[in-house]
Amino acid sequence: MTIKPIRKILIANRGEIAVRVIRACRELGIRSVAVYSDADRNALHVRMADEAFHIGAPQPKESYLDIDKVADTAVKAGADAVHPGYGFLSERAEFVEACEKRGLIFIGPPASAMRQMGEKTRARIKMQQAGVPTVPGDNGEDGRGFPSVETALQAAERIGFPVMLKAASGGGGRGMRLCDAADKFPAAFESAKREAKAAFGDDTVYLEKAIIRPRHVEIQIFGDRHGNYVYLFERDCSVQRRNQKVVEESPCPVLDENLRKQMGEVAARAAAAVDYVGAGTCEFLLSEDRNFYFLEMNTRLQVEHPVTEMVTGLDLVHLQIRVAEGHPLPFRQQDLQLRGAAIEVRVCAEDSLRFLPSPGKITRLRNPSGPWVRNDSGVYENAEISMFYDNLISKLVVWAPTRAEAIDRMSRALSEYQIGGIKTNLSFHRRVMQEPDFRAGNYNTGYIEAHKQTLLTAAPLDDDTVKTAAIAAVIHASSAQAVTAVSTAGGNGNEISAWRAGWPAHGLRDGK
């Protein structure tokens, strides 16, 4: 296969993921191009990129979601390739085709794989054909949903209550309803269809048997254009609020080597079944009896990818770029090792008691730091959290030799983190790190609801946590050179390169 060196990348995204890709470009000697809306004129990713182009109004459909505008801007900028990040256009096969039509390399899977895995009922059928275990369910007539509530109810009764209704074109918990009885089904069915239509423009829903008290475990996979597929171990994403991930960690506290291998091999087989290229994630439900079931495949880089980077020593964005150029993966499955434990928390601008967005201006920002602490951020002091976009402020990630040490390190880092001017979920994360069941690894997807009296209250934190936070505040206030958001937003995750299993830290682009 011909290798096509990439010299300039347009990042079709914003916020922390755009900053993350810009940093990777700089490390690889590649020029970066940012795009921005009116609301993002002063955003960190715009300031950091080598070039930046305005693409429209704050509303996503008039800027970041405009396929032709983004693709045409890449051509105008003289870019060789486009990195979609996650969200926005990252899983739109039409965007892949628009890039390829213009002679641009899309840093991600082919449109064919995206189509096969992006539509959930089609993906279920494809996975069943590939021998991948799926949750018992019904995709409807010809795999395209149900023509009426009556036919859907008949299917639900065949499966047996409780059942989950899910949007065929969905994700992120939208268009999803749990129903535990036949008399509640019509209302749940219509509600799921309405939300699916509003969120995805498609009201098709399908049914799955509800797995009670499962863990949500995902497997990071990687494929190249030479037919090589590997799994980069797992992430446990069971701490969720309204089906939205809040805390992620690796390794999963309840997986042993045998089960890890089984799930990883199934995920790699799923990727091979659709000729997948690049970074992707297979999501599974893990039942209490240790059976696992395929849920869906995310055909992009995940928000929580830093967790995998911490425990493998690999830079997944570097890998994405190299694979997109046509290089084979520089390792095989037997070369990969899972070392230590990593935890990521999503720090968001929100009312942590109600999980409602809290946009506004950040008037004070002091980032945590220290050994094995990484803070992937897209903001700085006096930056504005816009009402038009996701309310993610940063992804705080830590690594340690053991899970217990990682939790203690995260607690320390959270105690140092200070954000003023807006509400955040920092206090929520501090409580999670102190909660006994989480510390014991004893949790599932119902964890937050089961512990809401502890986690979702305005009660004061314990004395030790408050004392640690106060000491951190004094240290920051007295420092003559307080660390700013711009200088520390990326943390120091590259220290893990001591056991990097891929290309060396330097000279990655030799011969170009």
Residue 245 is predicted with a pLDDT of: 94
Q: Does 488 score more than 60 pLDDT?
A: no
Structure confidence by residue, pLDDT tens digits, 357-386: 999 999 999 999 999 999 999 999 999 999
Instruction: Choose the catalytic residue: 31, 92, 300, 366.
Output: 300
Structure confidence by residue, pLDDT tens digits, 12-71: 999 999 999 999 999 999 999 999 999 999 999 999 999 999 999 999 999 999 999 999
CA distance 501 to 330: 8
Give the pTM: 0.83
Residues 397-412, mean pLDDT to the nearest whole number: 98
Contacts of residue 97, defined as CB under 8 A and 6 or more positions apart, other chains included, come to: 111
Residue 480 is predicted with a pLDDT of: 32
In this prediction, residue 479 has a pLDDT band, given cuts at 50, 70 and 90, of very low
Torsion of Cα atoms, 275 then 285 then 446 then 198, to 10°: 40
Among this protein's residues, is 300 annotated catalytic? yes
Residues 300-311, mean pLDDT to the nearest whole number: 98
The chain-wide mean pLDDT, for the chain, equals: 89
Residues 389-417, mean pLDDT to the nearest whole number: 97
Q: Does 400 score more than 80 pLDDT?
A: yes
Contacts of residue 58, defined as CB under 8 A and 6 or more positions apart, other chains included, come to: 37, 38, 39, 40, 386, 388
Angle, alpha carbons 319-320-321 (nearest 5°)? 90
Q: Does 161 score more than 60 pLDDT?
A: yes
Residue 476 is predicted with a pLDDT of: 37
Please list, residue by residue across 417-433, b when 16 or more beta carbons sit within 10 angstroms of its beta carbon and e when fewer do. Answer: bbbebbbbbbbbbbbbb
CA distance 355 to 345: 14
CA distance 22 to 48: 7
In this prediction, residue 475 has a pLDDT band, given cuts at 50, 70 and 90, of very low
Q: Does 472 score more than 70 pLDDT?
A: no
Angstrom CA distances, 433 to 255, 340, 343, 455, 462, stand at 20, 18, 10, 10, 12
In this prediction, residue 242 has a pLDDT band, given cuts at 50, 70 and 90, of confident
Structure confidence by residue, pLDDT tens digits, 418-466: 999 999 999 999 999 999 999 999 999 999 999 999 999 864 444 444 4
Phi-psi region of 166 (alpha: psi -120 to 50; beta: other; left: phi over 0): beta
Q: Does 163 score more than 70 pLDDT?
A: yes
CA distance 24 to 322: 11
In this prediction, residue 124 has a pLDDT band, given cuts at 50, 70 and 90, of confident
Residues 97-109, mean pLDDT to the nearest whole number: 98
